[in-house]
Amino acid sequence: MLRSARLADGAYWREQIRCQAACPVHTDARGYVRAIAEGDFERAYRIARGPNPLASICGRVCGAPCEQSCRRGDYDRPVSIRALKRFVCEKFGPEGRPEGGRGLHDYLAAAAVQFGDRHCQDREELLPMLQALASGDVPKVSGKSVGIIGSGPAGLAAAHDLALLGFDVTVYELESFLGGMLMVGIPEYRLPRRVVQAEVEVITSLGVKGVTGCTVGKDVSLPELRERHDAVVIAVGMKQSRRAPCPGADAEGVLGGVEFLRDVSLGKAPALGSRIVVIGGGNVAYDVGRTVVRQTSIDAARTARRASGVTQVHLCSLESLEEMPADDVEIMEGDEEGILRRNSVGPKEILKDSSGRARAVVFQKCTRVFDENRRFAPLFDPTALTEIPCDTVLIAIGQTFDLSFVDAARDGLQLRPNGTIVCDPETGRTSARDLYVAGDLAYGPKLLIHAVASGKAVARAIYTQVTGRVIGHDALELHFPVPRYGREEGYEKTPRVELPATPPEERLHDMAALVERSLAQELAVREAGRCLDCGVNTIFDGERCVLCGGCVDVCPEKCLRLTPLAELSAGPEADAALRDPALAGATAILKDETCCIRCSLCANRCPADVITMERFLYRESPRCQED
């Protein structure tokens, strides 16, 4: 029986660094985590910030696809990558600098040159781009302007990179401040406003101008913006809640969850009563429910008439506990804070009182959420009903866009059946040459870091459209032997550090009281030491191997195997090499990368010094070429 195998090439080595491969902006998470383990916190921050203009925000609220892909998670539990990013951002990011965001780019460029970062620098990295702009490999734009509608993560990321490329950038924002949904859609107990403001200051220090309190379609039209600018980016967020698809959804006291979060952020929290039903099972539903718990607690404290057990917040979702899309930590902390979770129920009707106000929600049992192909196709048992009395109903079953300022015929745009703008999701290009789309509007709801990646991609697409030049990349890939390779003692047995949190009884009386606390330095170093350092690889010199099998015997994870070439299959191109008559009877060393913990025992055991531990590095340097 043939065993499937793959011959290692540059793409193979890159894929081994799974955290970086999973990040939409390809942050070398392994690089900054290992720098923390070595105590070099400043270098760790430079690596974390390199490709990500909103690193400090992501250190607190990113969905962390890097953690989901972390190889350590196959072994026991993934490294707390997001918490480690927050740890170094608080030390060296704009929120921790006395001057805030001003001068941050100069510091980053100077520090990287001075200390010589040696990590895997993807095409999104800041330093190579700054160097390419300075050398003329990427000529700066002059005399061109871009308008950006919306200052959420996609709009801010686009503004950041466009400003670096030389564009005159103006951001138009509905709210009275820049930051968009980062400021009004994420509760402050998760993301402090000062962190968003510090990140915004970095971007405005590059010359980006903000026009706040501006409603496009009312204060200025889209055609007017197209007259002002050479290109316009539509980066509006999903600021409107979807309506509940059931009778009675028009009752007084039925509110959108996103609108409720915005009102609370702006100090305009509505009166809720004491019985609140939140419909939804995702992170936004938990943001809403947990904000309600805090709001009612604060209101009761102000009036000094809170009665124990009066306020009830029911969170009702179609999904079972195992199926809920909300993060596990959100569910756990919601339970801690007193949210009454109701799983596997869907709203059938919202009942009204004589004045037309919601008085109860009738739920029916949800027997299935997804069909056999994992498509959303809920089924209900209409005979299994539950009635929950309420004063207020908050709907958090999804969001949608307000594109009332767009006229497809007038603006030369194509619209999808759902009313969104047809575009290339990779570049944001639309059917109108000067109009681009970024963020959720381009590809549907995803993570904050996807919005950052989208904004950066749109910036490069606009550069190409305006200049006729594509920003390509010269790639350099190297393996460096690590002669004294070693690991922290007992690193493979070290359990994941549990992130410190404010006790529930302390965090409910202040909307800004952070739930997740920062890692202490000792804990951060310990947690970083759990990283398997997937940029380090075992390299085999087959010409000197004596096939003693010592490496196989000593491997604690049983990830090495000696196998005759005749038993291997590695794809059409590689198979031709494996079947070379000169290799008849030869033996290969197979390595299962999924379970290698980079312990170096195989290299230490090898009597012929065939195995070396080598660090893989690559750098993609920007360079322009004609489109």
Please check the confidence at residue 103 and state whether its pLDDT lies above 80: yes
Tokens of residue 317, six digits:
């979702």
At 125 the pLDDT is 86
Co-location of 229 and 308 in the same domain:
no
Residue 378 CB neighbours (<10 A): 14
Instruction: Classify residue 252: in a domain, yes or no.
Output: yes
Chain mean position to CA 30: 16
Last residue of a domain, one of 345, 371, 399: 399
Instruction: Classify residue 418: in a domain, yes or no.
Output: yes
At 300 the pLDDT is 61
Please check the confidence at residue 367 and state whether its pLDDT lies above 60: yes
Co-location of 586 and 450 in the same domain:
no
Q: What is the DSSP letter of 566?
A: G
Report the CATH number at residue 263.
Answer: 3.50.50.60
Residues in a beta bridge with 619 = 121, 476
Number of domains in the chain: 3
Please check the confidence at residue 305 and state whether its pLDDT lies above 60: no
Co-location of 246 and 371 in the same domain:
yes
Between residues 528 and 540, the one the model is more confident about: 528
Q: Which domain holds residue 568?
A: 536-626
Is pTM beyond 0.85 here?
Answer: yes
Last residue of a domain, one of 382, 399, 416: 399
198, 206, 183: which is closest to 265 by C-alpha?
Answer: 183
- Summarize pLDDT for 200-242 with one digit per residue, the tens: 999 999 999 999 999 999 999 999 999 999 999 999 988 899 9
- Summarize pLDDT for 331-357 with one digit per residue, the tens: 999 999 999 999 999 999 999 999 999
Last residue of a domain, one of 467, 489, 522: 467
Instruction: Classify residue 223: in a domain, yes or no.
Output: yes
- Summarize pLDDT for 129-163 with one digit per residue, the tens: 888 888 899 999 999 999 999 999 999 999 999 99
Instruction: Classify residue 221: in a domain, yes or no.
Output: yes
CB 54 within 8 A of CB 24: no
Tokens of residue 603, six digits:
């290299």
Co-location of 210 and 191 in the same domain:
yes
Co-location of 314 and 328 in the same domain:
yes
Instruction: Classify residue 359: in a domain, yes or no.
Output: yes
Co-location of 245 and 389 in the same domain:
yes
Instruction: Classify residue 35: in a domain, yes or no.
Output: no
Q: In what order do the strands lie in the sheet with 358-370?
A: 345-352, 358-370, 376-389
Co-location of 229 and 302 in the same domain:
no
Instruction: Classify residue 573: in a domain, yes or no.
Output: yes
At 81 the pLDDT is 98
Cα separation values, 576 from 1, 579, 594, Å: 18, 5, 26
Instruction: Classify residue 74: in a domain, yes or no.
Output: no
